[in-house]
Amino acid sequence: MSTHAEDGNQLDWHGEFRDSAKETLFRRTMLAQDACQMRHALVVAAGLFLAFSLTDFSLLGLNNDFMMLLAMRVIVATCFLSLALAVWRRPSLAQAPLPINLICLLAITGLLLTIPLRTDGIMTNFSSIVAASMALYLFIPNRIPWMLACNAYLFGGFLISMVLWSPLPGGVLVNYLLLLGFVNLLCWLTVFRIHRLQRAQFANLLEERSNNQRLKEEIEERNQLERRLRHIARTDELTGITNRRRFFELAERERRRAQRDGSPLSLCMVDIDYFKSINDIHGHAIGDLALTVVAARCQSVLRESDIIGRYGGEEFVIALPQANLITAREISERLREAVCLTPVEVKGVLLDLTVTVGISRVGDGETSIDPGLLRADRALYTGKERGRNCLVVAPEDHEPPLLESVPMTFTPAEVRVTAPVAAPANGRRFNRS
Ligand SMILES: Nc1nc2c(ncn2[C@@H]2O[C@H](COP(=O)(O)OP(=O)(O)OP(=O)(O)O)[C@@H](O)[C@H]2O)c(=O)[nH]1
């Protein structure tokens, strides 16, 4: 269905959309307004029709003709009011051709019957015919073909009544008929223009709605894209866990919170042992999948509030809020076991993987996680040096003896570091991106 505003001009001679679906939609939209207009027109018409019985009485007095006129007026007014009530109850009747046109025929017939019964002259009769004609065009929400048919009946009935009951000289009658014809033409053009304007406005409204809908969809699409981009910018493509840059953002946020609350924050550096040989033996594709499995296994032992990120290569980094070194060590052991207890199966290849974990705690006075990461990294380096597949807890600078009391039950080798270990020769840096 086209919604372009120019459709307002694409009307048939009825002043209706050529596109029937659009016309139906328009009429449905106008239903409440039509029903209201119809009710008001019927009530006003009933009142006017009855009010004229006063002039009937003053013209005719209390005789048979007056009584007939009065009865006719009461019947017509009652029909008007009944239909008004029916439309009030069922608004759809305001657009139903049958009741509307039956009531119009009844009203026209009533009006025509006043011509032989009232003798107050051609002017009054002609004026009421003109008023009725205008009302049929402008106040009854009818369709144009029906308006024309009702007016043709009014026009013809007026002509016949005049010929039968108030014969006029030919020239005068033609004059009246021409005037009535002119009124009809004027009203028809007016109604057509109103129909055209209403429909042009409706077409504009439809166009506006469809533009708004399109705009809404575009905004939603952009939002989705933005969410996706944000996700991509924060996620490691291979493993699906947080990437290095996002890890630093989140871990720094946790450090600030820990500092505010005076709660501990521990860090773990996790490195897969002998990962190079997996690449060398089975190829990079298998290595990639193995990395993904290890990341998932590491994540499986963490709480939702813990933050795991891919630090680079085959190395992961974890921030453990609310965890002191003892808790961090327990979690790291669970993690180490989760990786090594069952072989990783990748495309039918069984890989016995192990990890080495360096653990540290962010110091209370530290203004960044970098020193803590450096300690965890050194601990990891020590673990690698001392045989791999183990945990190494780095002591906080100010409390080395405390860590000595932590029980060590792990195999094959858990290495405790009681003094800072020299940084590896290649000097690792905590680049955040
Ligand atoms: N498949 C794959 N391999 C990677 C990726 N990132 C780094 N690596 C490989 O990981 C290996 C890391 O090797 P090394 O740093 O020598 O360490 P390692 O062999 O694990 O030995 P240790 O860490 O000392 O136990 C290198 O061969 C890298 O190419 C990756 O995204 N996918």
Shared-domain flag, residues 250 and 166: no
Is residue 428 in contact with ligand 1, taking CB distance under 6 Å? no
Q: pLDDT for 319-338, tens place per residue?
A: 999 999 999 999 999 999 99
Is residue 276 in contact with ligand 1, taking CB distance under 6 Å? yes
Q: Which atom of ligand 1 is nearest to the CA of 272?
A: 20
Position 431 in a domain: no
Question: Taking a C-beta distance cutoff of 8 angstroms, is the pair 270, 357 a contact?
Answer: yes
Range of the domain at 328: 244-416
Q: Which atom of ligand 1 is nearest to the CA of 288?
A: 1
CATH number of the domain enclosing 346: 3.30.70.270
Shared-domain flag, residues 195 and 291: no
The number of domains in the chain is: 2
For residue 21, report the distance from its CA to the centre of ligand 1, in Å.
66
Is residue 388 in contact with ligand 1, taking CB distance under 6 Å? yes
Q: Is there a cis peptide before residue 412, judged by omega within 30 degrees of 0?
A: yes
Position 238 in a domain: no
Residue nearest ligand 1's atom 26 by CA: 276
As a whole number of angstroms, the distance between CA 418 and CA 291 comes to 31
Smallest CA-to-CA distance from 294 within 323, 319, 273 is with 273
Task: Classify the complex by whether its ipTM is higher than 0.85, answering yes or no.
Answer: yes
Shared-domain flag, residues 200 and 256: no
Smallest CA-to-CA distance from 146 within 200, 111, 98 is with 98
Helix (H, G, I), strand (E, B) or coil at 167: coil
Position 221 in a domain: no
Shared-domain flag, residues 76 and 181: yes
Residue 269: which H helix or E strand, with range? strand 265-272
Shared-domain flag, residues 193 and 304: no
Cα 319 to chain centroid, rounded: 39
Between 388 and 416, whose confidence is greater? 388
Place of tokens 């069984």: 350
For residue 31, report the distance from its CA to the centre of ligand 1, in Å.
74
Position 429 in a domain: no
Longest Cα–Cα distance of the chain, Å, equals 132
Name the residue of 237, 314, 340 to mutate for ligand 1: max ligand atoms within 8 A of Cβ. 314
Q: pLDDT for 110-137, tens place per residue?
A: 888 888 877 667 788 888 899 999 999 9
Structure tokens at 314: 């085959």
Shared-domain flag, residues 277 and 321: yes
Shared-domain flag, residues 195 and 91: yes
Smallest CA-to-CA distance from 338 within 366, 299, 369 is with 299
pLDDT over 90 (residue 108)? yes
Mean pLDDT of the chain: 87
Shared-domain flag, residues 35 and 161: yes
Shared-domain flag, residues 189 and 336: no
Is residue 270 in contact with ligand 1, taking CB distance under 6 Å? no
Shared-domain flag, residues 253 and 353: yes
Is residue 238 in contact with ligand 1, taking CB distance under 6 Å? yes
Position 223 in a domain: no
Shared-domain flag, residues 38 and 171: yes
For residue 17, report the distance from its CA to the centre of ligand 1, in Å.
71
Name the residue of 274, 275, 381 to mutate for ligand 1: max ligand atoms within 8 A of Cβ. 275
Is residue 279 in contact with ligand 1, taking CB distance under 6 Å? yes
Residue at a domain's end among 195, 212, 229:
212
Q: Which atom of ligand 1 is nearest to the CA of 388?
A: 25
pLDDT of residue 9: 57
For residue 319, report the distance from its CA to the centre of ligand 1, in Å.
22
Query: Partners of 340 in the beta sheet?
Result: none
Q: pLDDT for 33-71, tens place per residue?
A: 999 999 999 999 999 989 988 988 888 888 888 898 899
Q: What percent of the chain has pLDDT over 90?
A: 66
Residue nearest ligand 1's atom 11 by CA: 276
Shared-domain flag, residues 183 and 257: no
Position 32 in a domain: yes
Q: Taking the complete model, does pTM exceed 0.80, yes or no?
A: no
Is residue 314 in contact with ligand 1, taking CB distance under 6 Å? yes
What count of residues does the chain have?
433
pLDDT over 60 (residue 1)? no
Position 233 in a domain: no
Residue nearest ligand 1's atom 25 by CA: 273
Is residue 385 in contact with ligand 1, taking CB distance under 6 Å? no
pLDDT over 50 (residue 410)? no
For residue 332, report the distance from its CA to the centre of ligand 1, in Å.
21
Position 218 in a domain: no
